[in-house]
């Protein structure tokens, strides 16, 4: 068999392209903002993780320009060798202080952060307990670690406790959970997770990619939101969302971070964050510290849109975060509705298997502190008009 035979097979991608409902790789011709030009037309952006709107903040942009002029376009090496800038250390120090942790280390991407942390911390004799709806990077980090991964039902604490009780008593144990789950927008049950961890001698890691900048005091994330910063052993996060850049980080006790810095292959053998990315993340962090009202404004706008959608009889997943998923149920129905909404001037993200159950597909919408009520009202009307066209679709059978 030719290795490339699988590349020639006509699967679901070919099918949805032929139906003209392929939803991926739309191209932008403008900045990542509340309104964008995408494929030549104006779209209201409801599909970005730019939660605080800082990708267009003048201070953030200026910081990136100045860093590139002063320090060049790249570091040409890993942090372990020639790739550590003084600015990397400043970012790590300020982020540690912001999060209330002893030390922070940065990675070149958020995905790489989970690979690098989990594979360094857990080994073949350890057990990792993973929420079924955790991000793909957590799953891949578990695979890379060679530890035994045990999944528990989503936010089901009885399922978690049953599985952790079955693990060998002397094994190292790590519970890993998203802080805010990226597709559903719900917040993990962190107080219960911490209690179970204490009972069974486990450590706790929270992936706060979507929590940083959106919940907690001044946007300090999920652990702060529950008042459990000192009870969470590892906080992971990204710079590509609220911090308007690219990269990721680990926050933990000094000795834990120091260990990962010297044991994590994805960290040691990867080039460091370029100067402009580092500078923009640092500038965005400083903006958040100076303007905690951005986090409050984001919550107000998300609540406004949540109310908008419910008033229009659009079924959503109930949560309190800036992620609001809309039920569309079947995959092809989801793609058709998503395509029509896109053509009508709103960009949002279809959520299909395996990110959703086959009969519980979604259109994921997400919000920015820089949206306006007027813009969200316009978007809600567009979504409503398209959804009404499909309200009599047979959702028991796929089209």
The pair of three-digit structure tokens given for residue 280, joined into one six-digit string: 């923009």
Q: Nearest CA to 181 among 136, 142, 141, 220?
A: 136
Q: How many CB atoms lie within 10 A of CB 103?
A: 19
pLDDT of residue 355: 87
What band does 396 get if pLDDT is binned at 50, 70 and 90? low
**Mean pLDDT taken over the chain:** 96
pLDDT of residue 163: 98
Taking CA atoms, 146 is separated from 120, 127, 128, in Å, by 10, 9, 10
- The answer on pLDDT for 399 being more than 80 is no
pLDDT digits (tens, 9 = 90+) for 94-152: 999 999 999 999 999 999 999 999 999 999 999 999 999 999 999 999 999 999 999 99
pLDDT digits (tens, 9 = 90+) for 209-221: 999 999 999 999 9
- The answer on pLDDT for 394 being more than 90 is no
Q: Could you write out the DSSP letters of every residue in 257-315?
A: HHHHHHH-HHHHTSBPPPHHHHHHHHHHHHHHHH-THHHHHHHHHHHHHHHHHHHTT--
pLDDT digits (tens, 9 = 90+) for 263-307: 999 999 999 999 999 999 999 999 999 999 999 999 999 999 999
The pair of three-digit structure tokens given for residue 276, joined into one six-digit string: 């402009």
Question: Residue 309's beta-bridge partner residues?
Answer: none
State whether residue 350 is helix, strand or coil: strand
Taking CA atoms, 175 is separated from 117, 131, 151, 280, in Å, by 13, 8, 10, 32
Identify the structural domains of the chain with CATH numbers, from first to last: 5-55+292-389 (3.90.1150.10), 57-290 (3.40.640.10)
Rounded to two decimals, the pTM is 0.96
| Surface-to-core class of residue 70, CB atoms within 10 Å of its CB (0-12 exposed, 13-18 middle, 19+ buried) | exposed
State whether residue 134 is helix, strand or coil: coil
pLDDT of residue 358: 86
**282, 354 Cβ separation under 8 angstroms:** no
What band does 332 get if pLDDT is binned at 50, 70 and 90? very high
Distance CA 50, CA 380 (A): 19
Question: Residue 45's beta-bridge partner residues?
Answer: 347
């Amino acid at each position: 068999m030719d290795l490339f035979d699988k590349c020639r097979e006509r699967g679901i991608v070919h099918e949805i392209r032929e139906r003209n409902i392929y939803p991926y790789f739309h191209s932008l011709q403008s900045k990542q903002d509340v309104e964008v030009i995408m494929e030549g037309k104006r779209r209201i952006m409801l599909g970005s993780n730019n939660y605080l709107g800082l990708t267009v903040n003048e201070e953030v942009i200026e910081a990136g320009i100045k860093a590139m002029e002063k320090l060049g376009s790249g570091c040409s090496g890993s942090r372990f060798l020639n790739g550590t800038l003084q600015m990397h250390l400043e970012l790590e120090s300020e982020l540690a202080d912001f999060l209330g942790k002893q030390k922070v280390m940065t990675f070149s991407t958020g995905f790489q952060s989970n690979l690098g942390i989990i594979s360094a911390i857990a080994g073949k004799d350890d057990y990792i307990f993973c929420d079924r709806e955790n991000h793909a990077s957590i799953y891949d980090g578990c695979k890379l670690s060679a530890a035994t991964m045990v999944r528990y039902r989503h936010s089901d604490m009885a399922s978690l406790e049953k599985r952790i009780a079955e693990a060998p008593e002397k094994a190292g144990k790590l519970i890993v959970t998203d802080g805010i789950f990226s597709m559903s927008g719900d917040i993990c049950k962190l107080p219960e997770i911490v209690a179970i961890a204490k009972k069974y001698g486990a450590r706790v890691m929270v992936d706060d990619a979507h929590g940083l900048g959106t919940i907690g005091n001044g946007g300090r994330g999920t652990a702060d939101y529950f008042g459990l910063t000192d009870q969470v052993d590892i906080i992971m996060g990204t710079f590509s969302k609220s911090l308007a850049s690219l990269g990721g980080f680990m926050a933990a006790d000094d000795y834990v971070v120091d260990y990962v810095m010297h044991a994590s292959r994805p960290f040691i053998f990867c080039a460091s964050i370029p100067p402009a990315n580092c500078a923009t993340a640092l500038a965005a962090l400083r903006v958040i510290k100076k303007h905690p009202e951005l986090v409050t404004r984001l919550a107000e706008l998300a609540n406004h849109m949540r109310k908008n959608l419910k008033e229009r009889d659009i079924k959503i997943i109930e949560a309190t975060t800036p992620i609001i998923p809309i039920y569309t149920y079947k995959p092809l129905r989801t793609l058709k509705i998503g395509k029509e909404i896109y053509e009508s001037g709103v960009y949002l993200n279809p959520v299909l298997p395996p990110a959703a159950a086959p009969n519980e597909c979604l259109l994921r919408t997400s919000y920015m502190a820089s949206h306006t009520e007027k813009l969200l009202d316009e978007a809600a009307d567009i979504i409503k008009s398209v959804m009404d066209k499909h309200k009599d679709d047979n959702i028991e059978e796929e089209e």
